[in-house]
Amino acid sequence: MSAAMIATSLVDTLRGWGRSAPGRLWLAGPLLLIVAIPVADGFLPPDIHLAHLLVVAVAVTAVGAGPRATALIGVLAVLALVFAGMERRTLSTESVLVEIAALLAVSVFFVVFTRLRDRRESELVRVRSVSDAAQRVVLRPLPQRAGPVVLASRYRSAEADATIGGDLYAAARIPGCTRLLIGDVRGKGLPSISDTAIVLGAFRAAAHRRIPLPELVAYIEDAVRWGFAEFSEPAEDAAERFVTAAVMDIPDDEPVLHLVSAGHPPPLLLRGCARKPLVLAVPEPAPPLGLGVWPAGAHGADGACACYAAATFPFAHDDRLVLYTDGVSEARNGDGDFYPLAERATAWADATPGLLVERLAADVRAHTGGRRDDDMAMIVVQRD
């Protein structure tokens, strides 16, 4: 390991300690140095001089404290150096005067440095708070309950500092029914947020209407195609932008769910007595949204859209439904193996939705070694 790497690691460690420790406790070390170094200097032989080490006290303070504390420690360090020179009767010597001037210059530098650093950190905090608020507006957290349905979700963006990317989910209530959407836009991370917002906006605009599920998906398709064409950059090709999605209705008074799949990975249905999950693969899957390609038989004799076909599956009391994006099912480990979602979900089929989604998310993270190759979204639904 190089000296630069060691120094960088030491600075990061000290800074972490400084941010986590209380301000007064962090200043105890520099104050101890300011007192101990001149005292020790008085007992050492004339040819051994430790007072120049007072700069360490200023540097340590700058790592974990602000400009005011750094300035205070700098002044005290200079006074301690003067005291040490007076004690040894060397204050007027050229060597001590140079040390005092150097310590003053270094202290001023550290004060300016901490001031600029704190200003920059304040700006970053404000920018991040605005960004987080905007992202929460786009990807609103799912409610823990929607009618007789319990929901739990997890989301991880491919970007380390982002809370949203190219995966999406949403829920809506209409009388007697809960509607869910999970999708994955083409692309990942921050560049795909625009397409994510278009899809979620289309779903929220129409999900509360009392229209059949196929008509809802057809509306989203129209809105997404218009949005992609309207909000494309000149260099972008709107025809290459699409969204895979699964949209479903869960009636309150029937032990079933109705599902329309637009090129999205099929959900998994977990039942306590089953040894493996039921894969909810619709018999007539539709193409991804935004391509402008309708499923076979979607147009009537007059050319009007006959919408999408919804498949019905059982969803009884205490069943658990796992919705996911390909960031989960296609997550790879170091050997290139896909994450065994069905196997792991079956092993924890009796867990509550919150615990199940937490275990799956942690297991995916362990499987990939913490890498963020793609966005990841999961929803676990239980009929309560």
**234-267 pLDDT, tens per residue?**
555 555 788 899 999 999 999 999 999 998 999 9
Q: Is the pLDDT of residue 24 over 50?
A: yes
**3-state helix vs strand vs coil in the chain, percent to 5:** 50, 20, 35
pLDDT reported for residue 90? 67
pTM, entire model: 0.69
Q: Which residues contact 97 (CB under 8 A, 6 or more apart)?
A: none
pLDDT at 80: 83
Overall average pLDDT of the 130-138 stretch: 71
CA 124-19-21 angle, 5° bins: 160
- Which pair of structure tokens corresponds to residue 359? 């275990």
Q: What are phi and psi of 343, to 5 degrees?
A: -65, -45
Helices 94-138, 54-64: axis angle to 10 degrees equals 10
Q: Which residue type sits at 323? A: L
Give 136-159 pLDDT, tens digit per residue: 777 888 999 998 999 999 998 877
Which residues, in sequence order, are bridge partners of residue 381? Answer: 151, 321
Among 280, 258, 282, residue whose Cα is nearest residue 269:
280
pLDDT at 235: 52
pLDDT tens string 334-377: 888 899 999 999 989 889 999 999 999 999 999 988 887 888 89
Task: Report the C-alpha gap between 152 and 142 in whole angstroms.
Answer: 7
- Percentage, residues of the chain above pLDDT 70: 80
pLDDT score of 303: 41
pLDDT of 54 strictly over 50: yes
The residue assigned the tokens 């895979």 is 244
In three-state secondary structure terms, 55 is helix
| Residues forming a β-bridge with 263 | 245
* pLDDT tens-digit series, residues 262-315: 989 999 999 866 678 899 999 888 888 888 765 544 544 444 345 688 999 999
**The dihedral formed by the CA atoms of 216, 218, 220 and 225, expressed in degrees to the nearest 10:** -170
pLDDT of 307 reads 60
Mean pLDDT score across all residues of the chain: 81
Label residue 233 by pLDDT band (50, 70, 90).
low
pLDDT of residue 297: 46
3-state class (DSSP) for residue 256 = strand
Average pLDDT score over residue span 168-181: 94
Which percentage of the chain shows pLDDT scores above 90? 32
pLDDT at 22: 44
Please say if the pLDDT value at position 9 is more than 60. Answer: no
Confidence of residue 325 (pLDDT cuts 50, 70, 90): very high
The closest of 120, 98, 17 to 52, measured between CA atoms, is 98
